[in-house]
Amino acid sequence: MKEDLSFLKENKIFNWLTSCLSIVLIGITEYFFYSAFTSWVVWKVAILMVADLILISAFSLWLGITILKTPTLKKTIVFVVVYTLAVAIFAFGATTICHLVKNNASASYFLGIGIADVIIVFSFVFGWALTGRKNFLQALVATVALMCSLLVVLIAYIGNIQKNDATLATVKEFRVKDNLPDGNGKKIKVILLNGQSNASGVSRVSCLTEEQKAVYGQGVDNVYINYFCDNGYNTSNGFFTQTELNQGYADGFFGPEVGIANALSASDDEYIILKYTWGGTILDTQWYSPRQDGSVGPLYTAFINFTATYMDYLLQKGYDAKIGAMCWMQGESDSIDESWTQNYYQNTVDFVASLRKDLNKYADEGGIRYIDAGISDSPYWTRYTRINDAKKQYANAPAHNAVYIDTIAAGLDYTKEPADKPDLAHYDASSEIRLGQLFGEKILERYN
């Protein structure tokens, strides 16, 4: 295996295809790899990982022939294997270590891919700079120096990123802004709205028709809201305000509160929605109620504190305010991990029992009705059937005082918006409104 491959050094087609085209295709696979990796779609991760390694091998073929003084077939094969393994070890090794230490899929992905990209880009620039030169020692020294500097970056990065997808930085104390008149005994029915992104609201106001914007954008007189979305990324800042558009996870987005208010507007009663939500969060690791070992999910603590803070305010202002129902739109994130899916039913049992106990002094005479919406059949939610079965199982027990909303049977859609690239994780605008209306209908049934 001493065939000399030096003739490929002068082959422009080979040089451009294996260097430039390979880097472009590597970038494309990384684009799709992020979604698969952070959603834990195993088969997609495996396919894209293999494709990435093949493309890196093609790139290293060019690199080896470019920088080796005498690129024989044997030397080139050895170079391709060593280089590809080095990139894989640094990339996947950093990703694995970061995820084990910090349990943060997004940060782990960007760290690993970032290291791989720096190595490849550096090699690309250096390889082209050496065209016509035979300075393998210089390339070797520079590559070793780069590897060492990346180790320093890796150590510093792991030391500074936060665990558990930033929920250790969860806001757990909430400010009260006194903007309501004295209640003088006025009866207020309080509804809780909680969960992850489809509860926060990632449906676009811009996707509504002008007629829908006119109907839902003006609010209703008998339904007010106090909201705190995604750890305060969008919030009413402690104020109670009319329920309308732009109260989703960010300005320009809305959640189920719009449809809830629309459904409740036909009632003569007055309502307040207390909305605490955070997209991409997990019942098993972030919302979980107090356990025997004394641990408690950071979002559970924040949710209870949020609710108690504003219920105390309403009572102090003289309102006869009672919580009658809780609307829960969550479970998508729990469907991407087998253990989280297995635990979902028992986690629900514990979660609802604990919140009813902790909020008992604020509960309406009929108790807090738990209104649970099923998750969609999006390809992102790999175990959606089992999550929804757990929800149904809980709701089917009369003692649980719960109802289940079958969002799939209701025809809620996630495939059309935005038109150029549909967001398959979140409901389209009209479906998000319909989700809120379904919640509202169950709220009215609870009081009737």
> Of the candidates 123, 143, 161, which is a domain's last residue?
161
Q: How confident is the model at residue 134 (pLDDT cuts 50, 70, 90)?
A: very low
| 363 shares a domain with 305 | yes
Instruction: Report the percentage of the chain scoring pLDDT > 70.
Output: 87
How large is the average pLDDT for residues 426-435?
96
Q: In the prediction, which pLDDT does 182 show?
A: 95
How large is the average pLDDT for residues 243-272?
94
Of the two residues 44 and 243, the one the predictor is more confident about is 243
- As for how many domains the chain has, the answer is 2
| 326 shares a domain with 180 | yes
405, β-bridge pairs: 373
> Of the candidates 161, 181, 207, which is a domain's last residue?
161
CATH number of the domain at 433, please.
Answer: 3.40.50.1110
Q: In the prediction, which pLDDT does 162 show?
A: 45
| 26 shares a domain with 52 | yes
| 364 shares a domain with 231 | yes
> Of the candidates 111, 129, 161, which is a domain's last residue?
161
Instruction: Give the range of the structural domain holding residue 312, as residue numbers without chain letter.
Output: 168-447
Of the two residues 164 and 359, the one the predictor is more confident about is 359
107 within domain boundaries? yes
Q: How confident is the model at residue 6 (pLDDT cuts 50, 70, 90)?
A: confident
Q: Among 83-92, 383-392, 413-422, where is mean pLDDT lowest?
A: 83-92
The 10 Å CB-count burial string (b at 16+, else e) for 18-43 is bbeebbebbeebbeebebbbbbbbee
| 137 shares a domain with 33 | yes
| 268 shares a domain with 217 | yes
Preceding omega of 418 cis (within 30 degrees of 0): yes
| Token representation of residue 221 | 């007189």
CA-atom Rg of the chain in angstroms:
27
Q: In the prediction, which pLDDT does 136 show?
A: 47
1 within domain boundaries? no
| 132 shares a domain with 214 | no
| 72 shares a domain with 11 | yes
Write out pLDDT tens, residues 31-60.
777 766 655 566 777 888 888 889 888 888
| Token representation of residue 280 | 């991409």
| 230 shares a domain with 137 | no
Q: Distance between CA atoms of 280 and 337, rounded to whole angstroms? A: 13
270 within domain boundaries? yes
| 399 shares a domain with 271 | yes
Residue 406 to residues 104, 201, 385, Cα–Cα distance (Å) = 31, 18, 11
Q: Among 230-234, 366-370, 431-435, where is mean pLDDT lowest?
A: 230-234
142 within domain boundaries? yes
| 133 shares a domain with 196 | no
| 174 shares a domain with 147 | no
